[in-house]
């Protein structure tokens, strides 16, 4: 049996005086050394790299574990780059080896990163097991096992070592290092918002355009709607002693309506309503008011014959760009992004309520056309990630398409071609690559409430079509597959190895694969080269037909319009 121990004194020592390897408490991250006597996360903000603003680690004390998509980190010289196959995650609760992969930091070869390929089970204890072929046993760890260092932890690590060796079927001498950490659901903040955010019923139109529009658009209307506000001065949550966000009053949320030409003359009360989730640092208008329609969404929604209603993903929308730049310069302000994203998800949930239970659809702007009981969702990129988060909070959506979405923020964003625009800003303030990797791993605790993989169980069995671009340069396939596997979604045509196959026609949920054949992006832990693979499939007729079929022609049914399991440019 694993002996669970907490060492409250550990968290009060200077970071370079102690630790598992005698070189600091965060050089093996995360670990049980970062919990207090009650088992709550207790990380000294001084140990986390920062610029002007210390990371607000006190806001994490409500947690009793780390992320379901937690990256583990070891900062220690001597790791063998050719022996990554000897580094594992072991679920000590179940006794099984957990799917994972290990890699060295692309810049600092002393930094080992161990990432889960599937979500870590909530409530389980996870061990990082580094084989002796990957790292000879450090003297400090051997002394700990012998009781010469941190004697109060000797029995604990002897137990972890024995359990790790048993799970891998190797001798204890074949393991160089082990440490462990507990896993806990990190969705408290968003659960609070989703259960307690509602529209007041008040909304205001700011502009209606029926002339200066892309072809195929009847009208576009912009405005605002009133909703519960959870942000103090539009920045961060106020948390009570239990880590629960406190409502601050009400606020105005962005409202955008897009009515295609194709719905004019339709029978009253018959036109489905579609919630559109926009992409990174964009807005609904950025996709739907552009006369060139570069993403083909104006055309797609015109063919769908739906009324589109949308708001913004606060935190990572166009209006937030300047603040995102400031956060990249001063990463201790990260919660300003993640908390705003929580407000953005809450706003979207409130918008659904305003559509179905409020007065919005009775407004003359909709001319009586809408059928609010038929509510659909289409999200692209960021809208695919946060769309999954939103779906997990509500059953109002009948069918949803998540185009090139994914999850596991701390694994996804450093690999994204989009991160190249911000990496230099972070590096300007935090020059050490090892420090940046620690920061990224630790930041997952703030991303958790707005990470799609935090909600896998709630997405099981939902009518969802997830469209993945193979070798995606902006949303890594590992994050997309982790999202699908977290919810037990099968792979259309068996295109994704290791996932249950299903053949078309079938019903959602399912993940469908599109390969733009633009080459493999750099799969290291640095920003990918920009290949265009992320943006190409949305232009294909095969993807449009699949979306039309799933959302409106035969709602919920997944069809394939391609020659093989993986769609290619040859399929059109």
Q: What is the mean pLDDT of residues 149-154?
A: 95
Please tell me the predicted confidence (pLDDT) of residue 524. Answer: 85
Summarised one tens digit per residue, pLDDT across range 499-527 is: 999 999 999 999 999 999 999 887 689 99
The answer for residues whose C-beta is within 8 angstroms of residue 421's C-beta and 6 or more apart is none
Across 389-463, the runs of DSSP E, i.e. the strands, are 399-403
From its phi and psi, is residue 125 left (phi > 0), alpha (psi between -120 and 50) or beta? beta
Q: What is the pLDDT of residue 16?
A: 40
Tell me which DSSP letter residue 375 carries.
E
Quick one: which of 72, 22, 26, 83 has its CA closest to 49? 26
Q: What is the largest CA-CA distance in the chain?
A: 82
Strands 557-558 and 506-507: antiparallel
Residue 301 has pLDDT above 70, yes or no: yes
Average pLDDT over residues 139-149: 96
- Of 283, 304, 323, 522, give the one whose Cα is nearest residue 414: 522
Q: What is the mean pLDDT of residues 51-64?
A: 97
First to last CA, the chain: 57
> How far is Cα 138 from Cα 77, in angstroms, rounded to an integer?
10
Query: Between the CA atoms of 525, 527, 532 and 538, what dihedral angle is there, to the nearest 10 degrees?
Result: 70
Q: Report the mean per-residue pLDDT for the chain.
A: 95
Q: Averaged over 345-357, what is the pLDDT?
A: 98
pLDDT of residue 200 exceeding 50, the answer is yes
Give the confidence band of 10 by pLDDT, cuts at 50, 70, 90. very low
Cα distance between residue 394 and residue 220, in whole Å: 27
CA distance 566 to 542: 11
Residue 439 CA to residue 492 CA, distance in Å, equals 37
Distant-in-sequence, close-in-space partners of 14: CB < 8 Å, separation ≥ 6: none
* CA 409/CA 426 separation, integer angstroms: 16
Cis bond upstream, residue 558 (ω within 30): no
Asked if residue 337 has pLDDT above 70, the reply is yes
pLDDT in tens, 392-446: 999 999 999 999 999 999 999 999 999 999 999 999 999 999 999 999 999 999 9
Residue 11: which pLDDT band, with cuts at 50, 70 and 90? very low
Tell me how long the chain is: 572
pLDDT tens digit string along 524-563? 899 999 999 999 999 999 999 999 999 999 999 999 999 9
- Helix and strand tally (H, E) in the chain? 14, 22
Q: Which two tokens stand for residue 236?
A: 């961060």
**pLDDT of 169 above 80:** yes
Cβ(346)–Cβ(197) below 8 Å: yes
Q: Write the pLDDT tens digit of every residue in 289-298.
A: 999 999 999 9
pLDDT of residue 521: 82
Selection from 179, 112, 71 nearest residue 439 by Cα: 71
Is pLDDT at 52 greater than 50 in this prediction? Answer: yes
> Residue 329 to residues 130, 302, 325, 429: CA-CA distances in angstroms?
34, 41, 6, 6
Strand stretches in 261-319, DSSP E:
271-277, 307-310
Given a cut of 50, whether residue 4 has pLDDT beyond it is: no
At 203, list the tokens.
Answer: 């909304």
pTM, two decimals, is 0.96
* Contact (CB, 8 A) for 314 and 343: yes
pLDDT digits (tens, 9 = 90+) for 229-282: 999 999 999 999 999 999 999 999 999 999 999 999 999 999 999 999 999 999
Contact by Cβ (8 Å): 119, 486: yes
The domains of the chain, with CATH numbers, are: 8-182 (no CATH), 188-409+450-571 (3.40.50.1820)
Buried b or exposed e, range 359-382, using 16+ CB within 10 angstroms: ebbeeebbbebbbbebbbbbbbbb
pLDDT at residue 382 greater than cutoff 60:
yes
Nearest one of 275, 288, 153, 285 to 223, comparing CA atoms? 285
pLDDT at 523: 67
How would you class 19 by CB atoms within 10 Å of its CB: exposed for 0-12, middle for 13-18, buried for 19 or more? buried
């Amino acid at each position: 049996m694993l002996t669970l121990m907490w060492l409250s004194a550990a968290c009060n020592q200077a970071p370079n005086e102690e630790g598992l390897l005698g070189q600091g408490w965060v050089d093996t991250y995360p670990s049980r050394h970062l919990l207090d006597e009650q088992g709550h996360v207790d990380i000294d903000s001084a140990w986390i790299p920062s610029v002007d603003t210390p990371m607000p680690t006190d806001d994490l004390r409500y947690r009793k574990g780390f992320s379901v998509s937690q990256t583990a980190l070891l900062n220690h010289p001597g790791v063998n780059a050719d022996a990554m196959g000897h580094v594992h995650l072991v679920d000590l609760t179940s006794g099984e080896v957990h799917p994972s992969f290990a890699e060295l930091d692309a810049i600092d070869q002393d930094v080992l990163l161990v990432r889960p390929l599937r979500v870590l089970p909530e409530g389980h204890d996870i061990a990082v097991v580094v084989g002796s072929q990957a790292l000879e046993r450090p003297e400090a760890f051997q002394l700990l096992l012998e009781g010469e260092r941190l004697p109060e932890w000797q029995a604990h690590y002897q137990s972890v070592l024995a359990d790790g060796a048993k799970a891998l079927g190797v001798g204890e001498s074949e393991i160089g290092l082990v440490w462990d950490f507990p896993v806990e659901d990190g969705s408290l903040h968003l659960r609070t918002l989703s259960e307690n955010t509602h529209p007041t019923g008040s909304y205001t139109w700011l502009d209606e355009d029926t002339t200066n529009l892309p072809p195929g658009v009847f009208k576009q209307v912009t405005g605002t709607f009133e909703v519960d506000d959870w942000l103090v001065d539009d920045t961060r949550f106020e948390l009570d002693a239990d880590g629960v966000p406190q409502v601050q009053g009400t606020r105005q949320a962005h409202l955008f309506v897009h009515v295609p030409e194709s719905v004019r003359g339709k029978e009253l009360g018959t036109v489905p309503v579609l919630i559109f989730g926009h992409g990174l640092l964009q807005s609904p208008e950025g996709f739907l008011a552009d006369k060139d329609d570069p993403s083909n969404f104006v055309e797609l929604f015109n063919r769908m014959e739906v009324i589109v209603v949308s708001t913004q993903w606060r935190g990572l929308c166009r209006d937030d760009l300047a603040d995102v730049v400031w956060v990249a310069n001063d990463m201790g302000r990260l919660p300003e992004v993640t908390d705003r994203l929580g407000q953005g998800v809450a706003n979207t949930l409130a918008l659904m309520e305003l559509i179905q239970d409020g007065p919005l659809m009775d407004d003359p702007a909709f001319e009586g056309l809408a059928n609010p009981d038929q509510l659909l969702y289409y999200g692209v990129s960021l809208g695919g990630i946060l769309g999954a988060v939103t779906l997990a909070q509500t059953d109002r959506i009948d069918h949803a398409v998540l185009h090139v979405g994914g999850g596991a923020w701390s694994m996804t964003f450093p690999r994204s071609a989009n991160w190249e625009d911000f990496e230099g800003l972070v590096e300007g303030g935090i020059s050490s690559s090892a420090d940046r990797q620690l920061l990224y791993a630790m930041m997952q605790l703030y991303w958790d409430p707005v990470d799609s993989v935090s909600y896998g169980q709630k997405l099981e069995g939902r009518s969802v079509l997830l469209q993945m671009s193979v070798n995606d340069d902006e949303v890594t396939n590992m994050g997309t597959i982790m999202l699908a596997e977290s919810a037990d979604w099968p792979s259309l045509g068996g295109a994704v190895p290791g996932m249950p196959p299903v053949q078309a026609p079938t019903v959602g949920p399912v993940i469908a694969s599109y390969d733009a054949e633009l080459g493999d992006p750099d799969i290291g832990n640095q920003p990918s080269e920009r290949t265009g693979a992320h943006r190409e499939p949305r232009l294909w007729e095969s993807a449009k037909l699949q979306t039309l079929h799933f959302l409106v022609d035969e709602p919920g049914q997944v069809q394939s319009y391609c020659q093989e399991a993986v769609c290619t440019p040859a399929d059109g």
